[in-house]
Amino acid sequence: MKRRSDPDKNGVSGRGSASQPDLRADRGKKAGAGLKKSGKEAAAGNERRRSKARQSRPQRPEQTEQPNTYKKPVSAQRLMAIERRKARSRAIGLSIFVLFIMLVTMLLIINVMQQTKPRPRFLFLTEGQVDHAVSATGLVMRDEMVFSSPADGLFKPLAAEGSRSARDQKVAMIIPQGYEEQLRELQKTEKDLVDLQIELMNSGKGAGARAIYDESAASIEPVINLIRSDASKGDLSNLTGYAATLSVILEQRTTKLMSIDFRDARIEELNKRRNQLELSLGLESGTLICEQPGIISYRMDGLEQSLNNAMAETITPELYVQVSQRSEPMSPAGDYVVKDQPVLRITSSLSQTLVFLLPETDPRTLSEENLYDIRIPSEGLLLREARLLRAEVFGDDTFAVFETDRLVERLSDRRLIDAQITVASTSGLKIPLSALTQIDPHRHEATLTAVSGGYTHAVRVAILDQDREFGIIEGLPGEAITLDVSTVIVLNPESIEVGEFIGSQ
């Protein structure tokens, strides 16, 4: 019986047993190598198929050579085309706008030309008057009575400037020194009384008080207008007189309101206090009483006694020139006066005398049988129908003296006035000079366009008199149309042709 050989001793058996795992490893390597080879072959096959597909597919030359060179030029051309379209649209819009502006301008020009085209204007002939006035400075003379202060002290007017006073009326008070405190207390009492009256009146009490306030307001308004006028001219010399006038108006209002029953105990107490203070001041002060009725004025110039109506027949041109050249205006006495100082005057005459030196005027153009109008343009005053007292030659001028009873109150505070005297006038058919054409200054004739039967006719007329704006005319003999009141004439004859039918206008 044979014994199994020991594996450690039998070399063949040992290699045989050891080569089994090696065989498995070799088979694994071969399998891996086969897999790698098959993968590479598959990849190579895929690459060959893709290469064949690319070769068989048609290729675009622009994509293969320069893929981006085509897109950029196409985009730039498109933008340029868009810009050209926009520029063309803007040019068309601007052209339309310019044409629209030109059209509107033409329409406006046509409209303005149609509106500015003169249209004939017509007027009825009427009776009128052409005046010839001369500007000159006038000297005012009146019959006046002067009052002087009986003592030194504070001057307190009791009547308004330019108002008329009655006989035995108190017109002013002179409050001596030492009574200023009582005067201030009186002024305070009057202010408290007025404030209380206004308060009660606004609450509905005191029937009739509103009418008294409205009356005083109407009296104050002209004074305020004078103050504004002087202030605009830079003349403040009359403020003292205006203040005195306003004070008198307010005092008169307070006196009238005393008769109104406000049914208030405070009013009665203030009135009683006011009367006591006035009585105390009146007993201790000098009171000026009017001795004859007349117009009161607190403005003085020192000529009150030397110039009066009686001098109308004796005043000389030299005295007129001397007085008119004085620079001292009439002024009030002031708040504080001294004894024997003139403080007020009263015009007792019903008329006043006006003296003028008319430049470059022939005295033969003036007649004592005629009445003359004297106008004061700065004040808007007109003195109608002044009577001529004297007219004489003084160099190249005429020295004239007039008398009038108009507006004595308004001129009571003035010595000199700037006036216009109507020295001549002509009455007749009055027309504007613009209605006349073909004027002949030597023959004093002109052509007038009149309307008769619906057609315009040229009529020759004689110019009897004229000033800067108007003329007095009459028709010449032998004319086809007789001019009379209510005859229709053309004011602007250049706007219509002679013989044209006015109904077509």
Does residue 290 share a domain with residue 169?
yes
Low-confidence ranges of the chain (pLDDT < 50): 1-21, 23, 25, 35, 61-66, 68-72, 504-505
For residue 395, which of 355, 361, 356, 420 has the smallest C-alpha distance? 361
Whether residue 29 lies inside any domain: the answer is no
Of 276, 301, 326, the residue that ends a domain is 301
pTM of the model: 0.58
> Last residue of a domain, which of 380, 409, 424?
424
Count: domains in the chain: 3
254, 276, 301 - which closes a domain: 301
Whether residues 348 and 375 fall in one domain: yes
Residue span of the structural domain in which 463 resides: 122-129+429-504
pLDDT score of 11:
41
Residues 224 and 261 in one domain: yes
Do 368 and 453 lie in one domain? The reply is no
Residue 106 lies in a domain: no
Which pairs with CB-CB distance under 8 Å and at least 24 residues apart come from 385-394?
Answer: 386/354, 389/312, 389/313, 389/353, 390/312, 390/313, 391/363, 391/366, 392/317, 392/363, 393/363, 394/317, 394/357
**pLDDT for the residue numbered 38:** 56
Under 8 Å between Cβ of 257 and 212: yes
- Looking at the domain assignment, is residue 363 inside a domain? yes
Evaluate whether 365 touches 393 at the Cβ level (below 8 Å).
no
Residues 361, 251: one domain? no
Domain presence at residue 75: no
- What pLDDT, on the 0 to 100 scale, is given for residue 295? 87
Domain identity same for 340 and 293: no
pLDDT for res 240: 67
**CATH number reported for the structural domain that contains residue 493 in this entry:** 2.40.420
Tokens of 155: 């001057």
Same domain, residue pair 210 and 267? yes
Angle at which helices 265-284 and 180-202 cross, to 10° = 150
Predicted local confidence at residue 447, as pLDDT: 92
| pLDDT at residue 8 in the model | 44
DSSP-assigned letter for residue 131? E
Same domain, 363 and 275: no
Question: Quick check: is 259 in a domain?
Answer: yes
Same domain for 289 and 342, yes or no, is: no
CB 448 within 8 A of CB 489: yes
Same domain, 406 and 364: yes
> Is 60 a member of any domain?
no
